[in-house]
Amino acid sequence: MKKRKKNLKGMTLIEMIISIFVLGLLTMILVMVGEHIDAQSRAANNLKDKIVKEAPYAANKVKTYTNKDKATVDLKSEDITIDIIYDKDKPKIELTAKKYETVDVVLDGRSAKSQENIKNGFNSGLNLDFIDDIMNEKDRKKAEEAEKAKEEAEAEAPPAESGD
């Protein structure tokens, strides 16, 4: 009976410590991979939300949206200049336009933390901005003159009386 007990051997303390260390490393790697997958999933969802909310405005060139308070708000815009050079000997064509930013449609009604995640997240550079109101200088002056004439005509017209 004594011989049989001597043949049976268990794990030493060093072996136990090494196996626990290896399992700890594998667990740490698994947790890190899970966090990365979670971050990628959140980024994909944010991108999907941005596309779903911004695409109709950009595709149809809608310049206003209704915010969470049911008020109509204009999209932010900035004036840009487009220079077209098609030949060295001829002068360039200079066009002016407005670039409308659709990111406000996505940010409206979200918490500050959520807005920060969208602005600085994985897909923060992707915004569906659009350009509209492209005119050369000659057409722009005509439009401004027509707008002034319209305003003057409205100012000179007598107010309409209500017939009660």
What is the DSSP code (8-state) at residue 161? P
Q: 124 CB contacts (<8 Å, ≥6 apart)?
A: 118
What is the three-state SS of 39-56? Answer: HHHHHHHHHHHHHHHHHH
The pLDDT tens digits of the residues spanning 78-88 come to 887 777 777 77
Does the reported pTM lie above 0.85? no
Q: List C-alpha distances in Å: 140 to 63, 84, 125, 135, 151.
A: 19, 17, 31, 6, 17
Q: Is the dihedral of CA 45, 47, 50, 54 positive or negative?
A: negative
Reported as a pLDDT band with limits 50, 70 and 90, residue 20 is very high
CA–CA gap between residue 129 and residue 134 (Å, rounded): 15
Name which of 16-20, 97-101, 138-142, 157-161 the model is least confident about: 157-161
Task: Look up residue 153 and give its two tokens.
Answer: 């005509």
The DSSP line for 55-79 is: HHHHHHT--EEE-TTS-EEEPEEEE
CA–CA gap between residue 105 and residue 158 (Å, rounded): 40
Q: What average pLDDT does the structure give for the chain?
A: 78
